[in-house]
Amino acid sequence: MSALLLSFAVIFVAELGDKSQLMAMTFATRYRFWTVIGAITAATAVVHLLSVAVGNLVGLALPTGPINIVAGIAFVAFGLWTLRGDELSEEEESKAQRSSRSAFFAVAIAFFLAELGDKTMLATVTLATTEGWFGTWVGSTVGMVAADALAIGVGAVLGKALPEQVIRIGAAVLFFLFGAWLIIEGIRA
């Protein structure tokens, strides 16, 4: 229980103002709350389970430089895709209204990539070297999802008040910034 509470507190605080919290806000302007929170939860659970395994079994961090560079390039691509915009045919629009699977996977993959080598992943690895693996995993996952839920709420409110073009351009700029940030961190590592 102490591992769960400690991990929750550390990761919640570490996530405040982090790039993935900003990503959550960005995705919330485009997709439904439950789709975004579900995707974040799935991606975070997987990344933090890997982090706990690394911390618990090996105690060493993954080589974050190359991972950050690849993730950064992916985010620049997401930004370009966002700027280009997408047009849905009537058939695609009706499918999109019936299912949010593709949005779920897009958000989950983006979060998975963003979290590899991130400070919350490294904090989880570090906590797992001394704390119980299960409590660390659950606490770190719930802490991150709670912090990101705050950002999703803010993003959902902004999404209703802003025109679609402003949201698209703003989201693309954020993806470019996230990509540049990850590439710079990868080069420094």
Q: Band of the pLDDT at 22, cuts 50, 70, 90?
A: confident
pLDDT at 124: 85
**CA gyration radius for the chain?**
17
**Do 158 and 30 meet the contact criterion of CB atoms below 8 Å apart?**
no
Quote the CA–CA distance of 184 and 32 in Å, as a whole number: 31
Residue pLDDT, tens place only, 137-166: 999 999 999 989 987 777 667 666 767 677
pLDDT in tens, 111-126: 898 888 777 887 888 7
Closest by Cα among 147, 169, 184, 164 to 25: 147
* C-beta separation of 96 from 88 below 8 A: yes
Number of structural domains in the chain: 1
What pLDDT shows up at residue 183? 86
Render pLDDT for 159-189 as a digit per residue (tens, 0 to 9): 667 676 776 787 678 778 877 887 887 888 7
Q: Where are the alpha helices (DSSP H) in 29-132?
A: 33-53, 64-84, 90-98, 101-115, 119-130
What's the whole-number mean pLDDT along residues 126-142?
87
Q: Which residue range is the domain that position 26 belongs to?
A: 2-188
Query: Residues 7, 127: contact at Cβ < 8 Å?
Result: yes
Instruction: Give 146's contacts (C-beta < 8 A, 6+ positions apart).
Output: 8, 12
Q: Compute the C-alpha angle 7/37/66, nearest 5°.
A: 65
- Give the closest residue to 159 by CA, choosing from 42, 35, 32: 32
